[in-house]
Chain A
Amino acid sequence: MIRRRLALVVDPVACDGHGVCAELFPERVTLDRWGFPVLEEGAVEPAHLEHAERAVVACPRLALHLVELDR
């Protein structure tokens, strides 16, 4: 199986700063002082992928995406 390198990106236009992502995936997502997510750069560790996917699905604005790196 080819190992996919996935990273989190946020669509800042769609994002309203609900903050669900930071709650569900604090390992990679923190909130700035206005309540908008700051994502740690780089590939998500395989062990954390499940958390990342949960945060993506839970975003009420569907603003969070997992994208393949080195596309």
Chain B
Amino acid sequence: MTVPRLADTSTAPPGSAVPRLLAGLDAAGSPVGLDEHLSRWGAVPWRHAGASLIDDLEAAGLAGHGGAWFPVAVKWRSVRGGLLKRPVVVANAAEGEPASSKDELLVARLPHLVLDGASVPGDALGAGRVIVYAPRHLLPGLDAAVAERRRRALDPVDVEVVEAEDAFLSGQETAVVNALNRKAPLPAFAGVETIRTRGVGGRPTLVQNVETLAHAALIARFGPAWFRAVGSPGDPGTMLLTVHGRGPMPRIVEAPLGTRLGDVLGLSADDARQYWGALLGGYGGGWLPMSTALDLPLVESEARRHGTSLGAGVVALLPAGSCPLAETARVVRYLDRQKADQCGPCVNGLAELSALCTALAVQPAALGDGVRPLLDVCALVEGRGACRHPDGAARLVRSALAVFDHEVRAHLRHGPCAHVAAPGRLPGLGRIELGWASPDRIRRGR
């Protein structure tokens, strides 16, 4: 996969320092070297295990950009080891979401910002190991950057680089820990004991997304007030987004939190008519009607209020001339294929949900009871997996039924629309044909 070209980030209000993370990016597309990185940002002032950095992260209000938006300070405080059980820090660049490429951009082009970020919790938590977990194609660049830092003895804890599997669930934090413990890279049940007390090698473990860590590396240098100078008071700082549907290539944009999504996308209400809707938060996220999407402030609580999530910052615009129900069915089929095959409700429920969504798109007459069976399966899978994979699939389906209600009713009344056979427009799903579902499968969905 090629690193997408960079969007212009002229959406920044004047006088504020945006882009931040991407400020050092080289327009030619080569990675920013160590000297250039240090001359821009300076060295990280190591504070050594102690509370002050975590207090700064709390004051900064940094939340996790891997998709969960969980407060970083709370997470780091829960990973407390000791001299006998020093914690393990994992900088997570697995980015299994196929529509997201912002972590790939960070690692490929700003490896030293990512490595600073990996070392910051390594230092603050007194870690015994720091591991960068990244897909294979990013390893040569990471290895070279780590080697250069090693020569200059830059990092307080030696940094290891480990290959991540290329799969939707590979970045899920318990799956990361399983992989690093040489088990199958699949999610684990965290209900009794979490990785924060027993993770990699049985040690307390922090798994944190690389973008989050890059922000932490800048907070370690410049402090919480600097961080809060951009963004909104409740949701400070910036975020990276991967935008699909504005031009032939995906674009990576850095925007202050709280920015109106329409401004990030550079779309007017008039332009928006060429799209069916916007999928926010990736394939476990949810659809928004364009009118809602344009006015949505980039804030997780607002996204949740509209039945979706900012997730890892994916925005996919679905152009007219496609069938939103067929697109949704393709995504659900992809999610069904990418499930870990571990938890009964997800194994059974996602297979049924996929068959039902396909039926709604290409064979709606087979759904005698309308969308009721789809909602029933959603309710049966939600909250019942070891990870949130089934919840994401259910959220996507629920949002599609709500946002594309008019199309759903048209399909049920008149049969599939004219666009149902058009090739899929959403990125990274591979080739997914929506064949006719077997009537047996559909019946089981009732």
Contact = CB atoms under 8 A, between A and B. Distances in A.
B232 interface: no
Contacts of A17: 344
Q: Is the interface of B mostly helix, strand, loop or mixed?
A: loop
Contact of B385 (A9, A12, A65): A12
Contacts of B176: none
B384 interface: yes
A38 B189 CA distance: 16
Interface string B370-390: 000000000010001110000
A70 interface: no
B380 A9 contact: no
Contacts of A65: 191-192
Given A32-B380, A65-B192, A11 B348 contact: no
* Chain B CB within 10 A, most for which of A13, A33, A65: A13
Interface in A11-57: 11-17, 32-36, 38
Contacts of A34: 344-345, 348-349
Contacts of B188: 13
Nearest to A33: B380
Given A12-B344, A12-B345, A15-B343, A36 B192 contact: no
B268 interface: no
A58 interface: no
A12 B189 contact: yes
Nearest to A65: B192
Interface in B336-352: 342-346, 348-349
A12 B385 CA distance: 6
A43 B342 CA distance: 27
Nearest to B383: A41
Nearest to B174: A13
A70 B345 CA distance: 26
Q: Is the interface of A mostly helix, strand, loop or mixed?
A: loop
A16 B349 CA distance: 15
B352 to A, nearest CB: 9
Contact of B384 (A12, A33, A35, A67): A12
Given A13-B188, A13-B189, A65-B192, A36 B345 contact: yes
Contacts of A13: 187-189, 342-343, 386
Nearest to A67: B192
B384 A36 contact: yes
B189 to A, nearest CB: 4
A36 B348 CA distance: 10
A9 B191 contact: yes
A17 B343 CA distance: 10
A51 to B, nearest CB: 20
Contacts of A12: 189, 342-346, 384-386
25 contacts: A9-B191, A11-B191, A12-B342, A12-B343, A12-B344, A12-B346, A12-B386, A13-B187, A13-B188, A13-B189, A13-B343, A13-B386, A14-B189, A15-B343, A15-B344, A32-B380, A34-B345, A34-B348, A34-B349, A36-B345, A36-B384, A38-B384, A65-B191, A65-B192, A67-B191
Given A17-B344, A32-B345, A35-B344, 15 more contacts: A9-B191, A9-B192, A11-B189, A11-B386, A12-B343, A12-B344, A12-B385, A13-B189, A13-B343, A13-B386, A34-B349, A36-B345, A38-B384, A65-B192, A67-B192
